[in-house]
């Protein structure tokens, strides 16, 4: 079940909200746990058994860490974190690791290790990171271990963030797991935020993504340079509106039930450095790696070379987190390269003197190139595609630039690019200043209500029961 389906919007969500608010306060966590299990089992019934096992195991492991001290406490957290990492490696990386092992074995023998071909449980990268942050925070003493099984289960399996984040730290919501007050303003804000995310997904990401899909289905040797760039730009817009749309929906849904989730995007395509980009893109992932990998490794405290080492480690892991494929690892290395270069003295000095527009163009170029690695089925395809983007290699019956780009689609892409920049907050601030007073506030509220209603109606009109495109980050 996906948020952008009629089943979810017209059946699951209304039923969940009704049951939740009719239930006594002391049972509401349990209600959300049960409906979250139904939500997850809808598309992955067997994987639910894995999630339940991890919930039970880590509930007890967290309490054991909390009760231990000294060396025993350290051993307990190492065992607990290792268990979760081994589960993630087994389900997500076993085939990748064994495939590469077989390529090495091919150099010396004809024997091969059989591939297990294990199905990837939905959202395993996300809920594994949720659990690890909980275990580490308990070990550090930042929080006490959760004593309520239903509250801990809700932290892991809460359906708004279960499949594709945001990545929630336990310490960010531990008080909300115990007690929440839901007011009308929360429901109103939640519905509006959910509708914005739904419109991003259905009205922007999916139509533009159709162009990216069409271009990336063609062998790179049949692409003109212009068409290759069109595919990269289309995918850059698609993945932003797809993923930020999902985050908006998750944050909005959580708000309806009284949770306040952290923001996950802050107009990343307005960044003027790669460091700035990663402060704006998938914020909960980059901050997770900062706090649980980069800083424990030493961060930038031990000189430029160790800082570079720590950056490379973080972004190799970030690439691997996204997928068990060499193109994701190269994607991470590509980002790590520019983050490292920006810290070099001469480059940093040049950056401070460069005009913001030039810096923005540099970030846009680096990010668009990186999306080719992200979107391509394998590393070889990505390298051939990049060759075509920069005019290398012969073209065999090149696909024309105008493929699939009608005038309405061109307008949509231009509008999407404008919306991806922080223009709306500025326009809203200007309108609030110009509309000061009670009458102005009413006008703004009515305008917002009209826009939200129109977005919801248009989104519902585009839905086909259980046939919508899944969110890109579902496969991570």
Sign of the CA dihedral running 332, 324, 370, 234: negative
CB 389 within 8 A of CB 232: yes
**Local structure of 223: helix, strand or coil:** strand
Rounded CA-CA distance 69/71 in Å is 6
CB 13 within 8 A of CB 476: no
CB 156 within 8 A of CB 130: yes
Query: Mind giving me the DSSP string for 99-147?
Result: HHHHHHHTTT-S--PPP--PPPPTTHHHHHHHHHHHHHHHHHTSSPPP-
For residue 223, the cross-strand partners are: 399
Residues in Cβ contact with 216 at an 8 Å cutoff, skipping those fewer than 6 apart: 231, 235, 375, 376, 385
Rounded CA-CA distance 195/458 in Å is 10
What residues are annotated to the active site?
Answer: 322
Helices (H), 323-470: 326-341, 345-353, 356-375, 379-389, 407-419, 423-434, 438-462
């Amino acid at each position: 079940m996906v948020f952008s389906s009629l089943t979810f919007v017209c059946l699951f969500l209304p039923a969940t909200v009704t049951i939740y608010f009719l239930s006594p306060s002391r049972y509401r966590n349990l209600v959300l746990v049960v409906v979250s299990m139904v939500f997850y089992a809808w598309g992955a019934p067997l994987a639910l058994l894995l999630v339940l096992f991890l919930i039970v195991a880590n509930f007890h492991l967290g309490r054991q860490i909390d009760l231990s001290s000294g060396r025993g406490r350290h051993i307990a957290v190492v065992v607990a974190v290792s268990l979760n990492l081994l589960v993630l490696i087994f389900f997500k990386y076993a085939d990748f690791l064994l495939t590469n092992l077989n390529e090495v074995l091919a150099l010396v023998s004809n024997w091969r290790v059989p591939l297990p071909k294990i199905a990837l449980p939905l959202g395993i990268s996300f809920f594994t990171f949720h659990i690890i942050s909980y275990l580490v925070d308990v070990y550090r003493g930042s929080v006490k271990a959760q004593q309520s099984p239903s509250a801990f289960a809700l932290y892991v399996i809460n359906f708004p963030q279960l499949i594709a984040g945001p990545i929630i730290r336990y310490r960010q919501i531990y008080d909300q797991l115990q007690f929440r007050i839901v007011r009308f303003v929360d429901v109103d804000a939640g519905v509006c935020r959910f509708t914005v995310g739904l419109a991003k997904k259905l009205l922007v990401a999916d139509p533009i993504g159709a162009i990216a899909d069409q271009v990336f289905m063609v062998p790179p040797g049949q692409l003109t340079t212009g068409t290759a760039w069109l595919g990269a730009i289309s995918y850059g817009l698609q993945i932003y509106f797809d993923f930020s749309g999902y985050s908006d929906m998750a944050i909005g849904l959580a708000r309806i039930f009284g949770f306040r989730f952290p923001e996950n995007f802050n107009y990343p395509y307005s960044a003027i450095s790669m460091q700035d980009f990663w402060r704006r893109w998938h914020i909960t992932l980059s901050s997770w790696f900062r706090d649980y990998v980069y800083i424990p490794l030493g961060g930038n405290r031990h000189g430029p070379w160790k800082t570079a080492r720590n950056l490379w480690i973080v972004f190799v892991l970030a690439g691997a987190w996204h997928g068990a494929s060499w193109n994701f690892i190269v994607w991470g290395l590509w980002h790590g390269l520019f983050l490292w270069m920006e810290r070099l003295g001469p480059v940093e000095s040049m950056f401070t003197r460069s005009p913001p527009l030039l810096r923005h163009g540099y970030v846009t170029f680096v990010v668009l190139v990186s999306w080719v690695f992200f979107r391509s089925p394998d590393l070889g395809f990505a390298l051939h595609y990049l060759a075509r983007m920069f005019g290398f290699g012969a073209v065999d019956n090149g696909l024309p630039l105008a493929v699939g780009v009608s005038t309405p689609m061109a307008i949509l892409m231009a509008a999407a690019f404008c919306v991806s920049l922080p223009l709306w907050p500025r326009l809203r601030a200007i309108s609030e200043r110009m509309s000061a007073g009670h009458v102005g506030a009413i006008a703004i509220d009515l305008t917002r209500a009209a826009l939200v209603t129109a977005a919801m109606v248009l989104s519902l009109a585009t839905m086909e029961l259980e046939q919508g495109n899944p969110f890109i980050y579902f496969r991570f």
